[in-house]
Amino acid sequence: MALAVTAAFALAALSGCSSSASSFTGSWGEATAGQPSLTISSDGTFSGTDGCNSMKGQGTISGDTFTFGPFASTLVACEGVTPWLNLASTAKVDAKTLAVYRTGGDRIGTLDKQ
């Protein structure tokens, strides 16, 4: 009986990790010119655009937080585009919205799940 309870707790813990990672994976934002978008893979790799500049990197998923690791980004100046996504430090999922935060915890924008 104790073994069955232990196995059930272990399975629940593993399921929690899996669902946490899966909540981040997929495409976020608009895939149209001038709009930010981001795609996050289950291994933490991500790529996207701030609406003008492309970006690519490796992040980590821990609990309910995605932490952006170092990433490469182009540096093109685009008129009429606010490049807030390149300031990303962490992100959290709220229903079908990815809330993006800068270093220090200020929310800088959101991207809807596609």
For every one of its 114 residues, what pLDDT tens digit does the chain have, with 9 covering 90 and above?
Answer: 433 323 333 333 333 344 566 799 999 998 888 899 999 999 999 999 999 999 999 999 999 999 999 999 998 888 988 889 989 999 999 889 999 999 999 999 999 999
Is 39 in a helix, a strand, or coil? Answer: strand
> pTM of the prediction?
0.79
C-beta of residue 70 within 8 angstroms of C-beta of residue 59? no
CA distance 33 to 41: 22
Percent of the chain with pLDDT over 90: 65
In the chain the domains, ranked by start, together with CATH numbers, are 2-112 (2.40.128.270)
Residue 13: what pLDDT? Answer: 35
Residue 28: what pLDDT? Answer: 97
**How many other β-carbons are positioned within 10 Å of the β-carbon of residue 52?**
21
Residue 95: what pLDDT? Answer: 86
